[in-house]
Structure 1
Amino acid sequence: MISIIMTIYKEPWEWLHSALESIINQSYQNIELIIVIDNPNYDDIDQLKNQLTKCNVKYICKTNLVNVGLVSSLNYGISLSTGDYIARMDSDDIACTDRLEKELEFLQKNNFDLISSDVKKIDERGNQIGNSYYTNNLMANDIKKIEKWQNVFWHPTWLGKRKVFEHLQGYRKIPFAEDYDFVIRALLRDYRLGQLSNQTVYKRVVSSSVSESKGLEQILIANELAKNYRQGKVMPLNYLTKIHINSNQSNRYKLIKKKFFNRKYLSIPRKIFFIGSLGTSKIGRIFLRNVLIQKIASLKIRHRKWG
């Protein structure tokens, strides 16, 4: 059986309804749905429970007495689960009908312990805005090399053996990068990880997401996680006390990111000036380094060249 862990905070009912329907209608039906509501004042609890009582899927739905955050909610959900396999699902995403079937087949066929898949990106209205695709499946050796530089494991697509989550004692409280930290710890324990090239989830990109609102903090933590992994270590938690980002720095990063992804609208001279200016500030250099790492890693993934 597969236990699907979903946490809810303030997601609109329309998004949550679509997410639930996509799980309820999976082609693979030996599942249980574990829902943790991390908001005792969630407006749509009655609608949620009404939908759950009408479905034929085994479920557990719990509400935290106070807001405890994503990591604690995920670990609580895992503790409630009983499946041999554990899957993640975000409450604002949509799973393709055959997601679990394809992922389980891929995991079992290759004797993986934890896998992810590719995604299709949609906006807040559900319109497709892009793909994040790789042409080939990524096998265990590929993942070991890629994760030294960036995390390609889309969290809402995860499927893993229960023993991995139990052995690692769930997630650590690493803000904005608890999934990357989990992947690294799994690799350091010699678990076999892989990525399915099929796009099995419609990943909703929203302006209030962590990657959008806390992008600078997320990159700094991810870079430190990667650096420690390259040294064969797990990042010590005391590193988090060294990160001090003020609102001006955070807003500056958001502005750089927005301008970079809209650079096609700039004239060539302005585009050259903007790219060059990124090297003149610390935040600009952090952003540029991250973009270069992603581009280089993406090319290596597609062409299977690791040097």
Structure 2
Amino acid sequence: MAKISVIMGVFNGEKHVSKAIDSILNQTYSDFELIICDDASTDNSLNIIKNYISKYDRIILVENDVNLGLAATLNRCLEVAKGEYIARMDDDDVSLPHRFEKQIEYLEANPNCTILGGAARLYDGEGDYGKISHKRNPNKIDIFKSPKFIHPTVIMRSEALKKVSGYTVADYTKRTEDYDLWCKLYANGYKGSNLQEVILNYYEGRDSYKKKKFKHRIDSIKLRKIWRKKLKIPFNIYFVTIFKIIIGGLLPNKFMMKYHRVKFKE
């Protein structure tokens, strides 16, 4: 049985999926299985994945007959995962070679850590343009305010994911499935940490702020209403958090572009 089960959802990822798979196969830590669920892709993604499967027996393919979205797709991967640890990976990112080695070393030395993320280098078609990193040891208030783990950098303990029944599949978690999962884990007494070094190249357009439609902000507000009670968050923190979400959706694109350049240190 592999120590790590890597779970990857793929939807129309033909442009980058080969790089993503190669970056996992080239890890210095080799005790893993790679579970890929194709979410009813309409491009050449499935053929690319099958070509890898013909060469590597550690890759497992799951196929969705219809497009289910990321949360349901990852849950299908979890159904067949056998590892003690669950590692996330996206179809357009690149894990650096020592990622798993460093994360397993940390988790084995810190048994109270359930979620372990790390920093990421941002890149797009024009090259690298910034870096994302989060607080080393976020508490439940940090988690409530905003996602404090970069989803595709994370390794989690499998037993904890089983206890919280994996990802929540709902309309209001379509773009917030990771935030919801962190809240579920923290509400159940689990905690996480972030390595402060870059362990993954994260594909994100420089205008990524445009992807967050106001509807998605409303969904994130609904989620925070749910988790405020379960995490026992003080009302003043809840109010300020909601206010920032609303204001962020009302600000003009020019302002948000400047903010993102500062935030990502472009």
- Measured against the shorter chain, the TM-score band is 0.7 to 0.9
What's the CA shift for 1:157?
0.9
Corresponding residue of 2:79: 79
Which aligned pairs between 1:243-262 and structure 2 lie closer than 5 A? 253=249, 256=252, 258-262=253-257
Equivalent-residue separation in structure 1 for 2:18 and 2:123 (angstroms): 16
1:196 aligns with 2:195: yes
* Secondary structure class of the residue paired with 1:75: helix
Contact 1:4 1:86 in 2 (8 A): yes
Larger Rg computed on CA atoms: 1
Corresponding residue of 1:303: none
Equivalent-residue separation in structure 1 for 2:180 and 2:119 (angstroms): 19
**What is the aligned residue count?**
244
Equivalent-residue separation in structure 2 for 1:34 and 1:70 (angstroms): 14
Deviates further, 63-72 or 213-222: 213-222
Task: Please list the CA deviations of residues 188-208 of structure 1 after superposition, one character each: whole Å capped at 9, or x if unmatched.
Answer: 100121111121111100389
Corresponding residue of 2:104: 104
Task: Please list the CA deviations of residues 117-162 of structure 1 after superposition, one character each: whole Å capped at 9, or x if unmatched.
Answer: 111100135x11101135xx612xx332311311111111110111
TM-score (norm 1): 0.71
Which aligned pairs between 1:40-189 and structure 2 lie closer than 5 A? 41-55=42-56, 58-111=58-111, 112-125=113-126, 127-133=127-133, 138-139=136-137, 142-173=138-169, 174-189=173-188
Equivalent-residue separation in structure 2 for 1:175 and 1:145 (angstroms): 22
Equivalent-residue separation in structure 2 for 1:114 and 1:263 (angstroms): 32
Q: Match of 2:156, as an amino acid?
A: G
Q: Match of 2:8, as an amino acid?
A: M
Cα 1:227–1:167 shift into 2, 3 Å: same
Corresponding residue of 1:3: 5
Contact 2:119 2:150 in 1 (8 A): yes
* Secondary structure class of the residue paired with 1:89: strand
What's the CA shift for 1:255?
7.7
Cα 1:263–1:35 shift into 2, 3 Å: closer
* Secondary structure class of the residue paired with 1:61: strand
* Secondary structure class of the residue paired with 1:231: helix
Q: Match of 2:154, as an amino acid?
A: W
What's the CA shift for 1:216?
2.7
What stretches of structure 2 of length at least 5 have no aligned partner? Answer: 233-247
Task: Please list the CA deviations of residues 21-65 of structure 1 after superposition, one character each: whole Å capped at 9, or x if unmatched.
Answer: 10000011000000000015342322321133224x611112211
Contact 2:10 2:41 in 1 (8 A): no
Corresponding residue of 1:229: 227
Q: Match of 2:199, as an amino acid?
A: T
Equivalent-residue separation in structure 2 for 1:227 and 1:66 (angstroms): 31
Q: CA RMSD in A?
A: 3.0
Query: Of Structure 1 and Structure 2, which has the larger fraction of its residues in helix?
Result: 1
Query: Of Structure 1 and Structure 2, which has the larger fraction of its residues in strand?
Result: 2
What's the CA shift for 1:225?
3.2
What's the CA shift for 1:228?
4.3
Equivalent-residue separation in structure 1 for 2:190 and 2:226 (angstroms): 18
* Secondary structure class of the residue paired with 2:201: strand
* Secondary structure class of the residue paired with 1:183: helix
Equivalent-residue separation in structure 1 for 2:207 and 2:46 (angstroms): 21
What stretches of structure 1 of length at least 5 have no aligned partner? Answer: 235-251, 265-290, 299-307
Contact 2:10 2:36 in 1 (8 A): yes
Contact 1:124 1:205 in 2 (8 A): no
* Secondary structure class of the residue paired with 2:90: coil
Equivalent-residue separation in structure 2 for 1:114 and 1:47 (angstroms): 31
TM-score (norm 2): 0.81
